[in-house]
Amino acid sequence: MTTQTRSASSRKAPATSKALQQKILHHLHTTQGTYPEKASALAWWEATAAAINEFVMAGLTDTQKTHSRYDTRAVNYLSMEFLMGRLLSNNLHNLHLFETTDKALAALGQNLTDILEQEPDMALGNGGLGRLAACFLDSLATLNYPAVGYGIHYEHGLFEQHFRNGRQIERPDDWREYGNPWEVCRPESVQQIKLYGYVETVYEDGRARKVWHPGRNIKAVPWDIPVVGYNGANVNILRLWESRATDFFDWDVFNAGGYVDAQIEQAEAEAISKVLYPNDETEAGKELRLIQQYFFSAASLADIVRRYQRAHGDDWTQFPKLVAIQLNDTHPAVAIPELMRILIDDKDMDWNHAWQLCHQVFSYTNHTLLPEALEKWDLHLFEKVLPRHLELIYEINHHFLTEEVEQKWPGDDGVKSRLSIIEEGARRMVRMGHLSVIGSHRVNGVAEVHSELVKSDLFPDFHALWPHKLTNVTNGITPRRWLKACNPRLAELIDRHASKDWPVRLDKLQKLTDLADDARFQNAFMKIKHENKEELADVIKALTGIEVDPGAIFDIQIKRLHEYKRQHLNLLHILALYRRLLENPDHDMVPRVFIFGAKAAPGYRLAKDIIFAINKVADRINNDERVGGKLKVVMLPNYRVSLAEKMIPAADVSEQISTAGKEASGTGNMKLALNGALTIGTLDGANIEIAEEAGEDNVFIFGLTVDEVKALNSRGYNPYDYYLNDAELKAVVDWLDTDYFTPGQPGALSSIKHSLLDGGDPFLVLADFRSYAEAQLKVDARYRDRKAWARSAIINTATMGKFNSDRSIQDYVDRIWKLKPYPRDNA
Ligand code: BZD
**Other residues' Cβ atoms within 10 Å of the Cβ of residue 467:** 9
Q: Which atom of ligand 1 is nearest to the CA of 373?
A: 22
Residue 282 annotated to the active site: no
Residue 18 annotated to the active site: no
Whether 136 and 77 have beta carbons less than 8 Å apart is answered as yes
Residue 536 and residue 651: Cα distance in Å, rounded? Answer: 9
Residue 561 and residue 545: Cα distance in Å, rounded? Answer: 23
Write the residue with the smallest CA distance to atom 13 of ligand 1. 129
How far is ligand 1, taken at its centre, from the CA of residue 370, in Å?
10
- Ligand 1, from 280, 331, 663, 669: best to mutate by most atoms within 8 Å of Cβ? 280
pLDDT at 11: 62
Q: Which uninterrupted H or E stretch holds 673? A: helix 668-674
Distance set, CA 103 to CA 45, 110, 168, 489, 705 (Å): 15, 9, 41, 18, 52
Q: Which atom of ligand 1 is nearest to the CA of 331?
A: 21
pLDDT at 285: 77
Tell me the backbone φ, ψ of residue 171, rounded to 5 degrees.
-125, 145
- Residues contacting ligand 1 via CB (< 6 Å): 126-129, 132, 279-281, 367-368, 373, 446, 475, 663-667, 685
Q: What structural domains does the chain harbor?
A: 1-70+94-117 (no CATH), 73-86+121-244+257-475+810-817 (3.40.50.2000), 545-803 (3.40.50.2000)
How far is ligand 1, taken at its centre, from the CA of residue 334, in Å?
19
Whether 36 and 21 have beta carbons less than 8 Å apart is answered as no
* The one catalytic residue among 568, 646, 671, 824: 671
Write the residue with the smallest CA distance to atom 21 of ligand 1. 280
How far is ligand 1, taken at its centre, from the CA of residue 304, in Å?
26
Residue 34 annotated to the active site: no
* The one catalytic residue among 450, 559, 753, 782: 559
Gap between the terminal Cα atoms of the chain: 16
Residue 416 annotated to the active site: no
How far is ligand 1, taken at its centre, from the CA of residue 223, in Å?
25
Q: Which atom of ligand 1 is nearest to the CA of 277?
A: 20
The residue type found at 92 is: L
Q: Which residues of 118-139 are buried (b: 16+ CB within 10 A; e: fewer)?
A: bbbbbbbbbbbbbbbbbbbbbb
- Ligand 1, from 368, 450, 559, 640: best to mutate by most atoms within 8 Å of Cβ? 368
Sort strands 376-378 and 429-431 into parallel, antiparallel or unpaired.
antiparallel
Write the residue with the smallest CA distance to atom 8 of ligand 1. 666
What is the CA angle 4-668-121, rounded to 5? 80
10-residue mean pLDDT series, the chain (827 residues): 38 87 98 96 97 97 97 98 98 97 98 98 98 98 98 98 98 96 98 98 92 96 98 94 81 70 85 95 84 98 98 97 98 98 97 98 97 93 98 98 98 98 97 98 98 98 98 98 98 96 97 98 98 98 98 99 98 98 97 98 97 98 96 98 98 99 98 99 98 98 98 98 98 97 96 98 98 98 98 98 98 98 88
Q: Is 363 helix (H, G, I), strand (E, B) or coil?
A: strand
How far is ligand 1, taken at its centre, from the CA of residue 372, in Å?
13
How far is ligand 1, taken at its centre, from the CA of residue 666, in Å?
8
Residue 533 annotated to the active site: no
Residue 468 annotated to the active site: no
Write the residue with the smallest CA distance to atom 19 of ligand 1. 280
**Other residues' Cβ atoms within 10 Å of the Cβ of residue 428:** 14
Decide: pTM greater than 0.90.
Answer: yes
How far is ligand 1, taken at its centre, from the CA of residue 367, in Å?
6
